[in-house]
A = this chain, B = another copy of it.
Amino acid sequence: MKPIQVGLLGIGTVGSGTFNVLQRNQEEIRRRAGRGIQITMVADLDVARARAVVGEGVTVVGDAREVIANPDIDIVIELIGGYGIAKALVMEAISAGKHVVTANKALLAVHGTEIFAAASARGVIVAFEAAVAGGIPIIKALREGLSANHIEWIAGIINGTTNFILSEMRDKGLDFEVVLKEAQRLGYAEADPTFDIEGVDAAHKATIMSAIAFGIPVQFHKAYVEGITRLSATDIRYAEQLGYRIKLLGITKRAPRGIELRVHPSLVPAKRLLANVEGAMNAVVVHGDAVGTTLYYGKGAGSEPTASAVIADLVDVTRLHTADPHHRVPHLAFQPDALSDLPVLPMSEVVTSYYLRLRVADEAGVLAKVTGVLALNGISIDAVLQREADEVGGEGATSTDLIILTHDTREGTMDKVLAELQALPTVLSPIVRIRKEELR
């Protein structure tokens, strides 16, 4: 049987990795897939660079549309990224009856519904294992491996840049800005790191996982997104003393009235495996009603780890594109006509627990006043840590850090309480609030 012919759009880091791994392991991949899988055509604006990667024997063009127009191409890999031309090309490839493999999380988190509908109508597969957590086969686990389960929640470290920064901040006791510069120097953070450090990249991935887990359309615009730029070494240290580590988590959870979808720094008990995921590594915890807690760990980015996921999708398409299109694995895990209309909850409706740090005047009655406000609003306290007072200012006035861990409460209630606490004359600086997840 003739090999599956693949056209590659965009041959940067991941594209080169895909080409190289497919070539290096071609014999083994053919033995697995039952057919050879070959990249026979590559489109890149930089034709010379593309040619340098693929050598002779592969057609290299500057115009992606030539690849889509080629009737010999069975599968198109989109590795251009972004929402613009990438979207147009994916839609055109689908129209042309090509199966599509993409690593483009931004595209799918925002336009996935439209893209998957077009693919279903045309009877082609859009595969995207590489879009979430790089080489970790988490899409497959959620969509197929855990299909027996009523999924209850997912919490993941799904951005390597921020996890590297947080690991370094903890290890070395340094503040965010210092470590960011170091991460940029080492190539762990980009020159413009906004999408990573502000949580946008993690939110794209969380949005995709949420849709697959709960059978809802992708709704990136409803995700709550908070990055790590305001975290201080002080809070990382206090969290440690209380038995927690701070991680940037992508969380999606089934709540009584809808779905939580949020990205923010979170305290995680230090004894959880997830808390011990260090450096640029990724890990996703999935809790299902039958299976309980499962965890998936690996490299979430990089040339060959991401290529591993891209090629797994090529093998899947090769093995399974002949299955009845109405029953084979649906793009979002659930059949397109059986999605749920569960709403994504606004952040004020989210229920979680909190770490609060208040800089307070070191005088009698402060603790009673603060805890009184919490009690009046029905927020119960899990732990309190009060540091010894230290001198501030020149007047002999002293102040101290008061750290409070709360039990579960509604975010809307916490917002109101924080405003009240902030207004107390004995509260001297802006209150730090970090959410806490027990992940039981």
Contact = CB atoms under 8 A, between A and B. Distances in A.
B304 A35 contact: no
Interface stretch (A80-88, A192-200, A310-318, A351-359): A310-318
Interface stretch (A332-340, A362-370, A417-425): A332-340
B326 A323 contact: no
Interface residues of A, number: 70
Contacts of A314: 148
Contacts of A319: 323, 327-329
A296 interface: yes
B35 A290 contact: no
A28 to B, nearest CB: 6
Given A17-B290, A141-B140, A327 B148 contact: no
Contacts of A149: 21, 25, 308
A34 B277 CA distance: 37
A429 interface: no
A322 B329 CA distance: 12
A385 to B, nearest CB: 26
A304 B146 CA distance: 12
Contacts of A293: 298-299
Nearest to A323: B323
A147 B312 contact: yes
A294 interface: yes
Contacts of A321: 323
Interface in A15-39: 17, 21-22, 24-25, 28-35
A217 interface: no
A297 interface: yes
A36 to B, nearest CB: 12
A144 B148 contact: no
A316 B327 CA distance: 10
A35 B147 contact: no
Interface in A260-295: 273, 276-277, 283, 288-295
A140 B329 CA distance: 14
A123 to B, nearest CB: 13
A136 interface: yes
Among A141, A144, A335, which residue has the most Cβ atoms of chain B within 10 A?
A144
A11 interface: no
Among A22, A34, A148, A277, which residue has the most Cβ atoms of chain B within 10 A?
A148
Contact of A322 (B21, B31, B145, B324): B324
Among A22, A277, A294, which residue has the most Cβ atoms of chain B within 10 A?
A294
A58 interface: no
Contacts of A277: 273
B148 A21 contact: yes
Nearest to A149: B308
A69 interface: no
A330 interface: yes
Nearest to A328: B319
A129 interface: yes
Nearest to A339: B31
A10 interface: no
Nearest to A21: B290
Interface of A: 17, 21-22, 24-25, 28-35, 129, 135-137, 140-141, 144-150, 215, 273, 276-277, 283, 288-299, 304-305, 307-312, 314-316, 318-324, 326-330, 333-335, 338
27 contacts: A21-B148, A24-B150, A28-B150, A29-B148, A32-B147, A33-B147, A35-B327, A135-B290, A136-B294, A137-B140, A137-B141, A140-B140, A144-B315, A147-B316, A148-B309, A149-B308, A290-B304, A290-B308, A290-B311, A291-B308, A295-B297, A297-B297, A318-B327, A319-B328, A320-B320, A320-B327, A322-B323
